[in-house]
Amino acid sequence: MYKKTKKALYKTLLHMLETQELASVTVNSICKEALIHRTTFYKHFYDKYDLLTYVLHEQFQEYFALDIKNRINHPFQSGFDTVYMDMQLVLEKQKNDDTFF
């Protein structure tokens, strides 16, 4: 159940960040969309920024799993292939939101 809840919150925040700025996202809105109670949210994360940190950590796992030589010799391509493609909509939507960066 623990992984299922974290995955639901992860996917929900990622989806929400594609359509709205982080500043307008609340823990309540994340919970409502994920169909998870607020108290359950707080059992897993301190606040929405803690969840964002988790999301970014998970997004970068594939990049850091690449061979170090590949990352050094082709840093932009390997980053583009692993992180940017998944985060493109999020980054575009968040580009003006200081709370995200």
pLDDT (average), residues 30-39: 97
Render pLDDT for 42-97 as a digit per residue (tens, 0 to 9): 999 999 999 999 998 888 877 777 777 877 887 777 666 766 667 778 888 888 88
DSSP secondary structure code for residue 92 in this structure = H
| Nearest residue to 33 (alpha-carbon basis) of 45, 49, 50, 19 | 19
CA distances 15 to 30, 61, 69, 72, 73, Å, are: 10, 19, 32, 31, 32
**Cβ neighbours of residue 23 under 8 Å, at least 6 residues apart?**
97, 98, 99, 100
Q: Is residue 11 part of a domain?
A: yes
Greater confidence (26 vs 76) lies with: 26
Residue 53 structural domain: 2-94
Could you give the number of structural domains in the chain?
A: 1
101 located within any domain: no
